[in-house]
Structure 1
Amino acid sequence: MKPDEIDAMVPRWQEAGLSSSLIATLELGKRVSRLNQLFEQAIKADLAELGLTYAEFDVLAALLRAPSCRMRPSELAKSLFLTSGGISNVLQRLSAAGYVEREADEGDARSRWVRLTGEGRRMAEAALETTAGAYHDVSAGVPEEAVRQAADALREILTHLSRRRYR
């Protein structure tokens, strides 16, 4: 197996007296972070050509997946790990672009729905196609079996970590 940039850090961690299990966890975290950077760089560049930020794409994709292509802002924020202020800013930009519209919730006067417009649906579908291409380009040359094994292993780790509560 060919060494990567993370492997260069391991001797320093060993010299610092870190346990092998902690070193493995650090390697995992660093590699996950690096993979995320590679995917996000490719995706952000492609989304910029469509005039979207990554957060705007995330909201459009979430709405496209939702029943009736609508969600409450609080649901969007929670599902996308955004703050209420962050989701508000993104929704303002998407609304100004004509991709989403807000509508009253007939069952709760204090709440509103956010819904994709027809143009928003078209943009969400175009952005999904674009990001799929970016993922494909970044992972080109990696054996499908290796990707599958890594995805399954990360699912198992994430399942265990998701059960914990952190401060």
Structure 2
Amino acid sequence: MPAAGDDFITRLRHSWQRTLPELDTTPVELLGRINRISALSIQQLDRVLASSGVTRSEFDVLCALARSDRPLRASEVTAQTMLSGAATTKLTARLERIGLVERKKLERDGRVVLLQLTAEGQDLVEREFPRCVAHDRELLTGLDEKEQAALAALLGRISDNAERTR
């Protein structure tokens, strides 16, 4: 495993410095690391979830429903998962077919469809979510609580900037 000084992102930044030496490529290093961590983490979570029979995106839908204290509209699931509306529709249809999600009509307006977990869906989330958290915890190996808190605060500020420029 490469050290932080010679990893993929550092090599990428050095390549850009040779190509465009007048350009400060600090953002490439910082956001490149965030993006690379995200991509690698997603690939790894897909492997963690493979035995459960659901994809990471499907699991995101299940988790959005599990966190809610009430059934959700598809648009609410979309907002919580950052999936597209079309993806939410496709994923929830599959999750319904395999018995993890059910649709129900809103009592006061039958045109409104709500999504909720089935007992099987709840069981899957309760079984798999701790495994996902353990994976995330492993990625933070070597950072103490204070460092994790500082990193979370810094990433929160970057996240706020990204939200403002959407």
Decide: shared fold, TM above 0.5: yes
Question: Does the Cα contact within 8 Å between 1:42 and 1:138 map onto a contact in 2?
Answer: no
Cα distance change of structure 1 residues 9 and 78 upon mapping to structure 2, 3 Å threshold: same
Corresponding residue for residue 58 of structure 2: 56
Unaligned segments of structure 1, at least 5 residues: none
Query: What is the rounded CA distance, in whole Å, between the counterparts of 2:45 and 2:118 in structure 1?
Result: 23
Query: What is the rounded CA distance, in whole Å, between the counterparts of 2:43 and 2:22 in structure 1?
Result: 32
Deviation, structure 1 residue 8: 1.5
Query: What is the rounded CA distance, in whole Å, between the counterparts of 1:113 and 1:151 in structure 2?
Result: 33
Corresponding residue for residue 122 of structure 1: 123
Query: What is the rounded CA distance, in whole Å, between the counterparts of 1:76 and 1:2 in structure 2?
Result: 37
Deviation, structure 1 residue 28: 1.7
Deviation, structure 1 residue 2: 4.2
What's the secondary structure of 1:67's corresponding residue?
coil
Corresponding residue for residue 87 of structure 1: 88
Q: Which amino acid counterpart does residue 36 of structure 2 have in structure 1?
A: R
Matches within 5 A, 1:1-167: 2-3=4-5, 4-15=7-18, 16-20=20-24, 23-68=25-70, 70-165=71-166
Q: CA deviation digits over 1:81-122, x for unaligned, max 9?
A: 222221111111111121110000123332200011111111
* Percent of residue pairs identical: 29
Query: What is the rounded CA distance, in whole Å, between the counterparts of 1:80 and 1:46 in structure 2?
Result: 19
Give the TM-score normalised by the residue count of structure 2.
Answer: 0.87
Query: What is the rounded CA distance, in whole Å, between the counterparts of 2:85 and 2:60 in structure 1?
Result: 15
Query: What is the rounded CA distance, in whole Å, between the counterparts of 1:156 and 1:123 in structure 2?
Result: 33
What's the secondary structure of 1:126's corresponding residue?
helix
Unaligned segments of structure 2, at least 5 residues: none
Deviation, structure 1 residue 10: 2.2
Q: CA deviation digits over 1:58-77, x for unaligned, max 9?
A: 01110011122x11011111
Question: Does the Cα contact within 8 Å between 2:105 and 2:114 map onto a contact in 1?
Answer: yes
- State how many pairs are aligned: 162
Query: What is the rounded CA distance, in whole Å, between the counterparts of 2:22 and 2:91 in structure 1?
Result: 42
Query: What is the rounded CA distance, in whole Å, between the counterparts of 2:116 and 2:50 in structure 1?
Result: 23
Query: What is the rounded CA distance, in whole Å, between the counterparts of 2:28 and 2:108 in structure 1?
Result: 48
Alpha-carbon RMSD across the aligned residues, in angstroms, is 1.9
